[in-house]
Structure 1
Amino acid sequence: MKALVLSGGSGTRLRPITHTSPKQLVPVANKPVLYYVLEDIARSGITEVGIVVGVGHSADEIQNAVGDGFAFGLRVTYLPQMAPLGLAHAVLIARDYLGDDDFVMYLGDNFVLGGIAEPVRGFRADRPDAHILLTRVPDPTAFGVAELDRHGRVVGLEEKPKQPRSDMALVGVYLFTPAVHEAVRAIEPSWRGELEITHAIQWLIDSGHDVRSTVITGYWKDTGNVPDMLELNRSVLEGIEPRTEGSVDADSQVIGRVRIEADAEVHGSRIVGPAVIGVGAVIRDSYVGPYTSISDNCRIDDTEIEFSIVLRDAHLYGLRRVRDSLIGRSATVTSMPRIPSSNRLVLGDHSEVQISS
């Protein structure tokens, strides 16, 4: 059994971060989301992984970050996709690599708490033609949605429906036998101009193939936008183990689950976990609050920050207060110099005015 990891999307909802870096490499608790995906695949017992990448600098960055996969216990092959034309299109271009093997398709910007090991075991034992993972969501219009009959069988799928027939969204993990290759060749592009994997699965259902589902109750996130990235960062930080490998001076306080990596320095500051301070970062005269990830080689001076992600080499100085933020690599954020405040008034006779000083 192989894995097909999709990492070719443009990440428009995470711009401007994704103008210069693939969304799959944006860090959560100081580790790229794609790393969590690859580690999950390795834990499921799969070792052969094809990564679908776009073209240009994003593909180069992903290849530089993952390499040959040896660090994850995997053997990685890169499959270029000239344009993001849909999930089913990714299966289409991966045909030669996948051969006649069963495979799991895993979106490279998704996070599944609890992992895919159990669904993979069940799929290997029963070998339905397709197996999808579902979860209940409050707004199904933003997802592919499955309709189940009263026995829990999948009877219909829709991609981002305006009037959903259920609240069951497809998680970004799909398990297939080679039967799916006929399906992706049989479908036509949707109104979005993409080959939709939901259409391919619907083709399997209509053709009498065995399509099953599992409803997961654990945590799942599609990290396609900033609020989801911050929420995932919060969830992952909840489980970190505290440790201090860097230096913390006597004028500082470290409270709760805080991980301070090697060569990091904390001077005259207060850090309240869960939080992580990256390798070589310097925190001086600052407050770092809960659910904050400070990446490698950042400088945080005279600043208050919480519930945020700061990417490597960024510098924050003199800020009150930063919250709910995603700050890109090598960004510099400083406070504006104070200027005298003034009010310009043109008042008529007998006016009464109150001004907040």
Structure 2
Amino acid sequence: MKALILSGGKGTRLRPLTYTGAKQLVPVANKPILWYGIEALVSAGITDIGIIISPETGTEIEKKTGDGSYFGANITYIRQDSPDGLAHAVKIAQPFLGDSPFVMYLGDNLIADDLEQYLQEFVEKKLDALILLRKVSNPSAFGVATVNEKGEVLALVEKPKNPQSNLALVGIYFFSSLIHNAIANLKPSARGELEITDAIQSLLEDKKLVSARQLKNWWLDTGKKDDLLEANRIILDTDLESENLGIIEENSQIIGRVKIGKNTQIINSTIRGPVIIGENCFLENCFIGPYSSIADNVKLSETDLEHSVILESAEVVGIHQRIVDSVIGQRAKIHPALKRPKAVSFMIGDDSQIELI
């Protein structure tokens, strides 16, 4: 059994962060989103993993993620020169996949369910495809499945204007090698892409064994700021364990579950968890509220922060208003304000500099 993680694309929904980096490397609880998928696959026993990368961000992903040894896996990188659809990604990965069954996993997805239970069903029932579904309020934004009471898939449509159900395809699929034949006969959709939903529909029309299962727990597509913040909140809420490897001054207060990295210094500040703070950070005269993630080498001074994600080497100094619901990019700098609104919210890309006047 192999796995194929799709980690290409341009990440337009997360701009400006993704003008300068891969969306799959944006951190959730100080860990790249992509790594959660790798860990989920390895936990299910799948260690031979191909990762689809784009020319724009592939080098960054490869450098950050490595050869897979960190995860107990073997990673092969496969370049997709243009984002021509999910089925196109499978097509160019065929030399890596061979005749092996495989899991296709979209690299910006996060789920709470273990993959092992679905993998076991796929193998035991000798299915040609198993798709995972979740009820959503806006099915027109997704591939949509119609299923019967037995979980058998009746039809699939990509982003329909008039959806026949509210069951969206989660970005995780199990396939036998028959999917390659279906993809070989595809024509581009109206969007100019080879759609994986069309390939699965072709399997259905050929009377192949295609089943669906609804996720039991949460699923998030982290392609937008609010989804990223929600993913950060959920991971901190469910997975964070307290640990302090930093230097905490006596006049500082740590409340609840807080994880602090090596060489981080906390001076005259209150940290109320769940909060994760990376290594080599400096915090002085700050209040850090729940559901905040602060990456390595961040400097915060006279800052009130809550429900936000601060990326590596960012600097926020002298902001006397509460910063909420914000994502602040790598090396971004926010300087003091003269006026004092009650709260501010940011979506700031890498290397930005903001002065509030």
TM range (shorter): over 0.9
Match of 2:186 in 1: 187
Match of 1:246 in 2: 246
Runs (5+) with no aligned partner, structure 1: 340-357
Distance (whole Å) between structure 2 residues aligned to residue 181 and residue 212 of structure 1: 18
Answering whether residue 323 of structure 2 is matched by residue 327 of structure 1, we say: no
Match of 2:142 in 1: 143
Q: Give the C-alpha shift of residue 335 in structure 1.
A: 2.2
Residue identity matched to 2:111: V
Q: Give the C-alpha shift of residue 51 in structure 1.
A: 0.5
Distance (whole Å) between structure 2 residues aligned to residue 66 and residue 16 of structure 1: 22
Contact kept in structure 1, 2:300 and 2:316, CA below 8 Å: yes
**CA-to-partner distance for each residue in 1:81-128, whole Å, 9 max, x for gaps?**
000110000010011111000000000111111231211122122220
Match of 2:71 in 1: 72
Contact kept in structure 1, 2:5 and 2:50, CA below 8 Å: yes
Match of 2:283 in 1: 283
Superposition map of 1:95-244 within 5 A:
95-239=94-238, 240-244=240-244
Superposition map of 1:259-270 within 5 A:
259-270=259-270
Match of 1:25 in 2: 25
**CA-to-partner distance for each residue in 1:240-277, whole Å, 9 max, x for gaps?**
01111101111111111111111111100011110101
Distance (whole Å) between structure 2 residues aligned to residue 139 and residue 212 of structure 1: 23
Residue identity matched to 2:324: R
Superposition map of 1:311-322 within 5 A:
311-319=311-319, 320-322=321-323
Contact kept in structure 1, 2:303 and 2:318, CA below 8 Å: yes
Q: Give the C-alpha shift of residue 153 in structure 1.
A: 1.1
Distance (whole Å) between structure 2 residues aligned to residue 141 and residue 191 of structure 1: 15
Distance (whole Å) between structure 1 residues aligned to residue 124 and residue 262 of structure 2: 44
**CA-to-partner distance for each residue in 1:116-148, whole Å, 9 max, x for gaps?**
121112212222000000111111111111001
Match of 2:256 in 1: 256
**CA-to-partner distance for each residue in 1:221-254, whole Å, 9 max, x for gaps?**
1111100000000000012011111011111111
Question: What's the secondary structure of 1:169's corresponding residue?
Answer: strand
Give aligned pairs, total. Answer: 338
Distance (whole Å) between structure 2 residues aligned to residue 35 and residue 166 of structure 1: 32
Extract structure 1 runs of 4+ deviating beyond 4 A.
none
Distance (whole Å) between structure 1 residues aligned to residue 309 and residue 224 of structure 2: 13
Distance (whole Å) between structure 1 residues aligned to residue 149 and residue 32 of structure 2: 40
Q: Give the C-alpha shift of residue 25 in structure 1.
A: 0.2
Q: Give the C-alpha shift of residue 334 in structure 1.
A: 1.4
Scaled by the length of structure 1, the TM-score of the pair is 0.93
Looking at CA atoms only, which structure, 1 or 2, has the larger radius of gyration?
1
Distance (whole Å) between structure 2 residues aligned to residue 78 and residue 323 of structure 1: 37
Contact kept in structure 1, 2:86 and 2:196, CA below 8 Å: yes
Larger mean CA deviation between 121-130 and 279-288 belongs to 121-130
Larger mean CA deviation between 171-180 and 120-129 belongs to 120-129
Residue identity matched to 1:322: I
Question: What's the secondary structure of 1:174's corresponding residue?
Answer: strand
Distance (whole Å) between structure 1 residues aligned to residue 150 and residue 298 of structure 2: 53
Residue identity matched to 2:81: M
Residue identity matched to 2:114: G
Distance (whole Å) between structure 1 residues aligned to residue 140 and residue 113 of structure 2: 25
Contact kept in structure 1, 2:147 and 2:212, CA below 8 Å: no
**CA-to-partner distance for each residue in 1:33-52, whole Å, 9 max, x for gaps?**
01111111100101110101
Q: Percent identity?
A: 45
Distance (whole Å) between structure 2 residues aligned to residue 150 and residue 214 of structure 1: 11
Residue identity matched to 2:337: M
Contact kept in structure 1, 2:113 and 2:216, CA below 8 Å: no
Question: What's the secondary structure of 1:228's corresponding residue?
Answer: helix
Scaled by the length of structure 2, the TM-score of the pair is 0.93
Distance (whole Å) between structure 1 residues aligned to residue 177 and residue 71 of structure 2: 26
**CA-to-partner distance for each residue in 1:288-337, whole Å, 9 max, x for gaps?**
00000010000010010100000000000111111000000000011233
Q: Give the C-alpha shift of residue 9 in structure 1.
A: 1.1
Q: Give the C-alpha shift of residue 338 in structure 1.
A: 5.3
Q: Alpha carbon RMSD of aligned pairs, Å?
A: 1.1
Q: Give the C-alpha shift of residue 23 in structure 1.
A: 0.3
Distance (whole Å) between structure 1 residues aligned to residue 76 and residue 144 of structure 2: 31
Larger mean CA deviation between 142-151 and 168-177 belongs to 142-151
Contact kept in structure 1, 2:151 and 2:213, CA below 8 Å: no
Distance (whole Å) between structure 2 residues aligned to residue 6 and residue 165 of structure 1: 27
Distance (whole Å) between structure 2 residues aligned to residue 279 and residue 95 of structure 1: 41
Residue identity matched to 1:324: D
Match of 2:87 in 1: 88
Question: What's the secondary structure of 2:208's corresponding residue?
Answer: coil
Larger mean CA deviation between 203-212 and 116-125 belongs to 116-125
Distance (whole Å) between structure 2 residues aligned to residue 155 and residue 337 of structure 1: 60
